[in-house]
Amino acid sequence: MNNHHTHEELKKHRQAGRILAEVREKTAKKIVVGASTLETATFAEDLIRSLGGQPAFPCNLSRNEDAAHYTPGADDTLVFGEDMVKLDIGVHIDGYIADSAMTVDLSDHPELVEASTAGLAAAINMIHAGINTAEIGAAIEREISEFGYKPIANLTGHGLGRYLTHAPPSIPNIPIRGGTVLVEGQVVAIEPFATDGAGRIRDTQRSEIYHLVTENPPLPRIPRARALLKEIIEYRTLPFAKRWFSREKIDFTFRNLEKSGLIESYPVLTEVTGALVSQAEHTVIVTADGCEVTTG
Ligand code: CO
C-alpha cells in the first residue's frame, strides 16, 4: 500500500476535507439536549451526499465514557442528554478520505474538551516530513497531562489509504519506542482522546458498524445473505452501518455474514473505568516543512 499521494489524489483529499468541515460544523449545531441521535447521524450522512461526497464511515456520536464507534441503529430512540458527545465524521471522494472529530460538550466539562483540542493542536504544530510518530505521541501526552488528564493509550491516529480508513502508520497518543518517520505527501489523521479515567478503552458487546473482511468475498449460498452481501460489496472495505440496509430479517442476516467470517463488527469502545472521554481529530497532508489540515 503506497501511502504517498499524487497531485490529483491530494485534490480529492482536499475536496473531501472541505465537505467534512462544513458537515461537522452544521451537525455540531444539531447536537443539543433532547435531539435524536438517529436524526443527527442521518442529517450528517445526507448532507455529505448532497455536497458531492460519500460517508467514509457512519456518523459516530459516541457519548460520555464511550470513546468511539457508536452510531444509532435503525430503530434507535436515543436522544442526547447532558452528554459529552464525540462527533466523528468520515467523507470520501473516489476513495480519498477525510476523517475529523470534535467534542460537543453538553455536560459542562470544558477543560476535558480543551485537553484533547490542545493535544491535537500541539501535534499539528510539530508535524513535518521527517518527524517520527513517537515524537508526536510524546507531545500529545505532555499537552493533555498539563490539563491534568490522560490520553487514551490504546487508541491512535492513523494513515488514510484509498478506501482504507486505518492505514499505516498509527500515530500514538502517548510516548512509544520506535515509531515511524512521516514522509511528504502522506495523509494522516491525528486523533487524541483525553479522559480523567485510567486512559484505556475496551470493547463492548454493542455494535452497529461493520466492514467487509476482504474486497472480493465468496458469495453466500443463502439468497438473503447473498443479496445483502452484493450491496455491501459497494462499500469495499469501508465501514458501514446496519441501518443503511432496510430489509426483513436484517439482524439474522448480519449475524449470518458475521459467523461466516465475511463481515466484522466494530464494537463500541468504552473507557475501562467509565470515565468521561473527549476527542479532537483532523486529517493532514504532510509537507516538507509542516502540514496542511484538510478538515480545518
Ligand atoms: Co480517525
Q: Is 281 known to be catalytic?
A: yes
CA 193–ligand 1 middle distance (angstroms): 11
How many CB atoms within 10 Å of residue 98? 30
What band does 247 get if pLDDT is binned at 50, 70 and 90? confident
CB 67 within 8 A of CB 86: yes
Give the C-alpha separation, 1 to 232, whole Å: 23
- pLDDT value for 163: 95
Q: Is 158 known to be catalytic?
A: yes
pLDDT digits (tens, 9 = 90+) for 25-40: 999 999 999 999 999 9
- pLDDT value for 49: 98
CA 281–ligand 1 middle distance (angstroms): 7
Work out the percent of the chain whose per-residue pLDDT is above 90. Answer: 95
- pLDDT value for 3: 53
- pLDDT value for 5: 74
CA 227–ligand 1 middle distance (angstroms): 30
Mean pLDDT of 151-160: 98
Mean pLDDT of 280-290: 97
Is the predicted pLDDT of residue 138 greater than 70, yes or no?
A: yes
What band does 4 get if pLDDT is binned at 50, 70 and 90? low
Which residue among 65, 88, 114, 141 is the active-site one? Answer: 88
CA 89–ligand 1 middle distance (angstroms): 8
Mean pLDDT of 75-88: 97
CB 84 within 8 A of CB 109: yes
Q: Is 88 known to be catalytic?
A: yes
Domains and CATH numbers, the chain: 7-204+274-293 (3.90.230.10), 209-266 (1.10.10.10)
Mean pLDDT of 5-29: 95
Decide: pTM greater than 0.85.
yes
Q: Is 135 known to be catalytic?
A: no
Q: How far is CA 157 from CA 93, 187, 189, in A?
A: 20, 11, 5
- pLDDT value for 155: 98
Which residue among 109, 166, 258, 292 is the active-site one? Answer: 166
Give the C-alpha separation, 151 to 175, whole Å: 11
CA 61–ligand 1 middle distance (angstroms): 13
